[in-house]
């Protein structure tokens, strides 16, 4: 009884503090994220990616060092923040991952199927083992490369190109896809990402039409997902969102995926790129 | 062969502050793959840190440590320019040793 009374007293004393504490929650989460950043295992992926870039692979036994990511052959520094963009040699708008797949074909001699075979890292949470790209304990060359190339744009300003007609077309298609509602749940990207202050459980959902939210979201992918123990790329982010909406599977490096990324990159224009980040 | 560790060693005051990121699966042995088969346990058992031939940290780990573990600690008596050596040994007998030079720091 006495303990109950003491507890009640303690509760009464702490209750008025709860409200400012709740307001501070976001700040505390920020602090937590910063602490995590120091121990971000993305660094391990970045180191492997840098090695892989220089490693001779494939039927032609060639490295990717002459791969043109948009700023000229072999230029990696700052390439990520300028993508997606139009590439004259393929006649397509490409994001980093589809571009890397192109280079694996043209430089290293892989078939397009081989280049896209395992785009995502494999050791994820059990719920994604139905993912055709995954297998337990398997690493993805693509993911490692993405981690390093993205890290080479850290601190730079997000500045995708939308001047070429095909880039504008990709942007418009991406916008259409963003607002498109369908599937068994009548869901669309906009359902979760079209309003301010929404969240799923404790995850705040960025409003992608709001520059600040979009900059933060786009600027922190790729990211290391602590809950999955894996680094996840932008293509994976799109693929996973589409899966969660119960849409047909989003094909890796497809025009639809690139259109969505183009739209999001444009929304995030002017933001500071700070990835690979660390995620819940 | 396991991937190298990422080690940062800096002087903070009169102590050496060490931050280590290890690349390791740290499988608990409790998970199952898509086919329903148990994924065998694979985790770091022992970690030891030596400086100037002396052990400054020795740890016994188990499956409760996360994948790609991060270790952060300080020790006394280190000097800038000298090396710290870190070794882990896992339950399959795999071993990895890396070293880092202590930076001046603040």
Query: What was the ipTM of the complex prediction?
Result: 0.77
**CB distance B85 to B97 below 8 Å:** yes
Res B49: pLDDT: 97
Give the pairing type, strands A277-279 and B15-21: unpaired
Number of domains in chain A: 1
* Alpha-helix residue ranges (DSSP H) falling in chain B: none
The DSSP line for A12-63 is HHHHHHHHHHHHHHHHHHHHHHHHHHHT-THHHHHHHHHHHHHS-BTTTTB-
A136 falls within a domain: yes
Residue of A nearest to B6 (CA): A44
A32 falls within a domain: no
Count of alpha carbons within 13 Å of A86, Cβ hemisphere only?
Answer: 13
Burial class (CB in 10 A: 0-12, 13-18, 19+), B60: exposed
Chain A within 8 Å of B3 (Cβ-Cβ)? yes
A146 falls within a domain: yes
Of A33, A1, A16, A8, which Cα lies nearest the Cα of A202? A33
CA distance A39 to chain B (A): 6
pLDDT > 90: percent of chain B: 77
Instruction: Decide if A41 and B21 are in contact by the 8 Å CB cutoff.
Output: yes
Res A54: pLDDT: 95
Residue of B nearest to A128 (CA): B34
Instruction: Decide if A126 and B19 are in contact by the 8 Å CB cutoff.
Output: no
A270 falls within a domain: yes
A24 falls within a domain: no
Structure confidence by residue, pLDDT tens digits, A17-55: 445 666 677 788 778 777 777 788 899 899 989 999 999
Q: Give the span between the Cα atoms of A224 and A279, in whole angstroms.
A: 6
The DSSP line for B58-82 is EEE--TTSPSS-EEEEEEES--TT-
Q: Give the span between the Cα atoms of B43 and A68, in whole angstroms.
A: 40
Nearest to A38 among B19, B25, B39 (CB): B19
Chain A within 8 Å of B38 (Cβ-Cβ)? no
CATH code (residue A221) = 1.10.760.10
Give the range of the structural domain holding residue A161, as residue numbers without chain letter: 44-279
Q: Which helix or strand (DSSP H or E) is residue B100 part of?
A: strand B95-101
Residue of B nearest to A37 (CA): B70
A157 in the Ramachandran plot: left (φ > 0), alpha (ψ -120 to 50) or beta? beta
The pair of three-digit structure tokens given for residue A211, joined into one six-digit string: 């520059």
User: Mean pLDDT in each 10-residue stretch from start to end of chain A (280 residues)?
Assistant: 46 46 73 79 90 91 94 95 96 96 93 80 42 53 92 95 94 96 93 89 88 94 87 92 91 94 96 91
CA distance A207 to chain B (A): 32
CA distance A223 to chain B (A): 14
Residue among A135, A137, A138 with most chain B CBs within 10 A, to mutate: A137
Q: Give the span between the Cα atoms of A241 and A263, in whole angstroms.
A: 15
pTM of the model: 0.82
Chain A within 8 Å of B21 (Cβ-Cβ)? yes
A27 falls within a domain: no
Chain A within 8 Å of B70 (Cβ-Cβ)? yes
Catalytic, A241? Answer yes
Nearest to A229 among B33, B67, B72 (CB): B67
CA distance B70 to chain A (A): 6
What CATH class has B6-27+38-101? mainly beta
A102 falls within a domain: yes
Residues of A in contact with B39 (CB under 8 A): 136-137
Residues of A at the B interface, defined by Cβ within 8 angstroms: 38-39, 41, 43-44, 47-48, 123, 126, 129-130, 135-137, 226, 229
Q: What is the mean pLDDT of chain B?
A: 92
A117 falls within a domain: yes
Res A134: pLDDT: 41
Chain A within 8 Å of B79 (Cβ-Cβ)? no
CA distance B104 to chain A (A): 19
């Amino acid at each position: 009884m006495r303990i109950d009374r003491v507890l009640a007293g303690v509760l009464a004393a702490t209750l008025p503090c709860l409200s400012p504490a709740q307001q501070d929650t976001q700040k505390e989460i920020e602090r937590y994220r910063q602490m995590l950043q120091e121990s971000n295992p993305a660094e391990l992926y970045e180191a492997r990616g840098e090695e892989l870039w220089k490693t001779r692979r494939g039927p032609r036994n060639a490295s990717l060092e002459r791969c043109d990511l948009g700023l000229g052959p072999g230029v990696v520094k700052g390439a990520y923040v300028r993508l997606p963009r139009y590439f004259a040699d393929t006649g397509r708008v490409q994001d980093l991952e589809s571009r890397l797949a192109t280079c694996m074909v043209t430089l290293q001699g892989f078939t397009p199927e081989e280049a896209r075979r395992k785009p995502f890292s494999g050791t994820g949470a059990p719920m994604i083992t139905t993912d055709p790209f995954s297998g337990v304990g398997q690493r993805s060359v693509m993911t490692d490369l993405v981690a390093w190339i993205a890290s080479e744009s850290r601190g730079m300003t997000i500045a995708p190109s939308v001047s070429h007609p095909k880039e504008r077309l990709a942007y418009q298609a991406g916008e259409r896809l963003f607002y498109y509602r369908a599937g068994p749940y009548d869901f669309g990207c906009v359902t979760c990402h079209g309003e301010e202050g929404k969240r799923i459980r404790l995850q705040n959902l960025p409003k992608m039409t709001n520059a600040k939210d979009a900059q933060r979201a786009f600027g922190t992918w790729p990211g290391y997902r602590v809950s999955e123990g894996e680094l996840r790329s932008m293509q994976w982010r799109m693929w996973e969102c589409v899966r969660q909406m119960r849409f047909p599977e989003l094909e890796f490096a497809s025009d639809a995926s690139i259109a969505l990324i183009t739209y999001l990159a444009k929304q995030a224009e002017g933001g500071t790129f700070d990835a690979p980040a660390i995620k819940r | 062969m396991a991937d190298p560790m990422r080690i940062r060693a800096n002087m903070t005051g009169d102590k050496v502050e060490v931050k280590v990121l290890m690349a390791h699966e740290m499988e608990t042995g409790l998970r199952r793959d898509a086919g329903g088969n148990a994924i065998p346990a694979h985790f770091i058992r022992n970690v030891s840190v030596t400086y100037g031939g002396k052990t400054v940290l020795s740890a016994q780990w188990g499956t409760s440590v996360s994948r790609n573990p991060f270790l952060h600690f300080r020790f006394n008596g280190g000097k800038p320019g000298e090396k710290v050596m870190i070794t882990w040994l896992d339950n399959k007998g795999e071993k990895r040793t890396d070293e880092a030079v202590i930076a001046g720091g603040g």
